[in-house]
Structure 1
Amino acid sequence: MARAVLGIMGGSGLYDLPGLEQIEDLTIASPWGLPSAPPRRGRIGTTEIVFMPRHGVGHAIGPSDINYRANIDVMKRAGVTDLVSLSAVGSFREDLPPGLFVLADQFIDRTSRREPSFFGRGCVAHVAFSHPVGPLLQARVAAAAAAEGIDHRTGGTAVCMEGPAFSTLAESLFHKAQGWDLIGMTSMPEAKLAREAEISYAFVGMVTDFDAWHEEVGPVDVAQVIHHLHANADKARRLVARLARDFPAEHEACPVGSDRALDMAIITAPEARDPALLARLDAVAGRVLAPRPA
């Protein structure tokens, strides 16, 4: 079994992680470009944690300009085995109000400007993604939330839109009519790339608003979001601290195979693979691409 390293991707309002000890700011080069910020490694109790603010220091990077490939690649190079994504989201349901944490486990990708895969021309791979979230990791997050008395729900579908503008009323009503639960701007392609990198992934949607559909509350704006960000960020830090306190020392094998996603995924014949692309995949896919001993 591999040693467990817990990665935390901080969303809007979560730009640091108080409580980390033995802190080290890592300088990790990625062939996919610059990540949002240098990852910070530390410990809470005996659990090793690698933290990165998704939007960079001072929230300087918008959702469509994030280098998701570099972020996940750097997390992989830092040894992360399990990644918890914390994201500010809007809600399509009255019973999922601002302040609630929703552990969504399905995603709808409505983005169009983002690089969705590490693989492509010269090395094609198709990972299984029917269950995007690692159920054991999600269960641990839910247990930590319960232990901290954080109001939360487990399960649900989050749609990811391009942004940076919020939804039109027509878009919001359409998404609500589909029966989807949440809307955000950063879960995709982050979750897909984590699967390609064989990192178990869990998502925490920190509800800040009702998007644009709610007639009484009115459409979402930055003022509404910021109003709920600070309280949500405090709860998120408590959640991470509890999760880390109870986290296993060894990575738990994922029931949906997220940590072995590349076993049967690469379809390109060895002789047709592009060496330049293979070199960029050294961290993400090195486990299956590395030459085998004779």
Structure 2
Amino acid sequence: MQTKIGIIGGSGLYEIDGLQDAEWIEIDSLWGAPSDAVLSGVLNGIPMVFLPRHGRGHVHSPTTVPYRANIDALKRIGVTDVISVSACGSFREEMAPGDFVIVDQFIDRTFAREKSFFGTGCVAHVSVAHPTCPRLSDVCETAAKDAGVTVHKGGTYLAMEGPQFSSQAESNLYRDVWNCDVIGMTNMPEAKLAREAELCYASVAMITDYDSWHPDHGAVDVSDVIKTLQDNGTKARDMVTRLPELLGSERDLCPHGCDRALEYAVMTAPEKRDTALVAKLDAVAGRVL
């Protein structure tokens, strides 16, 4: 299988050095319109696409991002490996602004989003016990280190609904009681949907600030946070340019089974399946339906 890399991220990745034959392509999805067109091209011989999670100009809030359409669109155009790049706050003193965290676990506290491609008429249950792909996460760690970034391998991401940031009481709960490491608003249900779509998924969380638990957080100037965001964007671009060589052009089956997550997941008997829903699942679940 040919490797095709999909990057979901923010404005700092609109311009990827060395991306050849770059063009913005509109993709139709049966799950609605994706956040934006995708920037498609070839990087070091490997096909790559970039999807702005919030749309160019940041038009979608974390709640209104069309997560299902985004994942469906990437699957529909042949993406095999999805790397999520997103800003986050840190609950750990040693995970400082400017550092990257390769997330391996999530606590999902979102509540106003559609979280599955499946439902009445075609029920499926996939495992997200290990919601990110270890193989792809290892590649992201190596690429980030090669780019000179301070990287923390492994961390629990608290996904909050937003768009407001957490209160100090919530921040202390997530940090001290739930033992979370970083907090953000966009990796859920994105990771769950990627698993349903049988896509390998890795999450690179770029720390911009300490959350409200930190005693000095209120003294941090907003301009410092913006500068960290810009610096993180540069680091992320450097990381992305190293991914093709590390992943290679030929893609074997995922050793962790991400690309076979639906093997025994669909529960609804064939004769009871809703034909309209099955038709919408053609890209996501066509392999098993």
TM-score, with structure 2 as normaliser:
0.96
Equivalent in the alignment of 1:276: 276
Equivalent in the alignment of 1:167: 166
User: What is the CA distance between 1:230 and its match in structure 2?
Assistant: 0.4
Q: Does 1:156 align with 2:155?
A: yes
Equivalent in the alignment of 1:5: 4
| SS of corresponding position for 2:282 | coil
Equivalent in the alignment of 1:110: 109
The letter of the residue matching 1:105 is: D
> Are the structure 2 counterparts of residues 221 and 133 from structure 1 closer, same or farther at C-alpha, using a change threshold of 3 Å?
farther
Same amino acid, percent of matched pairs? 54
> Are the structure 2 counterparts of residues 103 and 271 from structure 1 closer, same or farther at C-alpha, using a change threshold of 3 Å?
same
The letter of the residue matching 2:28 is: A
| SS of corresponding position for 2:56 | coil
How far apart, CA to CA, are the structure 1 residues paired with 2:202 and 2:216? 32
> Are the structure 2 counterparts of residues 99 and 145 from structure 1 closer, same or farther at C-alpha, using a change threshold of 3 Å?
same
Q: Does 1:38 align with 2:37?
A: yes
User: What is the CA distance between 1:44 and its match in structure 2?
Assistant: 1.0
Equivalent residues of 2:105, 2:157 under 8 A apart: yes
User: What is the CA distance between 1:151 and its match in structure 2?
Assistant: 1.0
User: What is the CA distance between 1:12 and its match in structure 2?
Assistant: 5.9
How far apart, CA to CA, are the structure 2 residues paired with 1:29 and 1:186? 22
How far apart, CA to CA, are the structure 2 residues paired with 1:30 and 1:215? 45
Q: Does 1:17 align with 2:16?
A: yes
The letter of the residue matching 2:97 is: P
| SS of corresponding position for 1:213 | coil
| SS of corresponding position for 2:287 | helix
How far apart, CA to CA, are the structure 2 residues paired with 1:188 and 1:18? 29
Equivalent in the alignment of 1:250: 250
How far apart, CA to CA, are the structure 2 residues paired with 1:18 and 1:169? 40
How far apart, CA to CA, are the structure 1 residues paired with 2:220 and 2:213? 9
User: Within 5 Å, which residues of 2 pair with 1:1-294?
Assistant: 2-11=1-10, 13-177=12-176, 178-218=178-218, 223-289=223-289
User: What is the CA distance between 1:254 and its match in structure 2?
Assistant: 2.0
Specify every segment of 5 or more residues in structure 1 that has no aligned partner in the other structure, as ranges.
290-294
The alignment covers a number of residue pairs equal to: 288
User: What is the CA distance between 1:76 and its match in structure 2?
Assistant: 0.4
Specify every segment of 5 or more residues in structure 2 that has no aligned partner in the other structure, as ranges.
none
The letter of the residue matching 1:173 is: N
Query: Structure 1, residues 175-232: CA drift from partner, whole Å, max 9, x if none?
Result: 0112110000000000000000000000000000111000123288865532311000
How far apart, CA to CA, are the structure 1 residues paired with 2:271 and 2:113? 29
User: What is the CA distance between 1:150 and its match in structure 2?
Assistant: 1.3
How far apart, CA to CA, are the structure 2 residues paired with 1:203 and 1:53? 15
Equivalent residues of 1:145, 1:239 under 8 A apart: yes
| SS of corresponding position for 1:284 | helix
The letter of the residue matching 1:183 is: I
The letter of the residue matching 1:214 is: H
The letter of the residue matching 2:6 is: G
How far apart, CA to CA, are the structure 1 residues paired with 2:220 and 2:254? 37
How far apart, CA to CA, are the structure 1 residues paired with 2:167 and 2:11? 21
Between stretches 170-179 and 253-262, larger displacement belongs to 253-262
Equivalent in the alignment of 1:292: none
Equivalent residues of 1:213, 1:219 under 8 A apart: no
Equivalent residues of 1:212, 1:219 under 8 A apart: no
How far apart, CA to CA, are the structure 2 residues paired with 1:276 and 1:224? 50
| SS of corresponding position for 2:83 | strand
How far apart, CA to CA, are the structure 1 residues paired with 2:115 and 2:219? 30
> Are the structure 2 counterparts of residues 221 and 63 from structure 1 closer, same or farther at C-alpha, using a change threshold of 3 Å?
farther
The letter of the residue matching 2:225 is: V
| SS of corresponding position for 1:35 | coil
**C-alpha root-mean-square deviation of aligned residues, in Å?**
1.5
> Are the structure 2 counterparts of residues 109 and 25 from structure 1 closer, same or farther at C-alpha, using a change threshold of 3 Å?
same
User: What is the CA distance between 1:242 and its match in structure 2?
Assistant: 0.9
User: What is the CA distance between 1:16 and its match in structure 2?
Assistant: 4.0
How far apart, CA to CA, are the structure 2 residues paired with 1:16 and 1:63? 23
> Are the structure 2 counterparts of residues 211 and 9 from structure 1 closer, same or farther at C-alpha, using a change threshold of 3 Å?
same
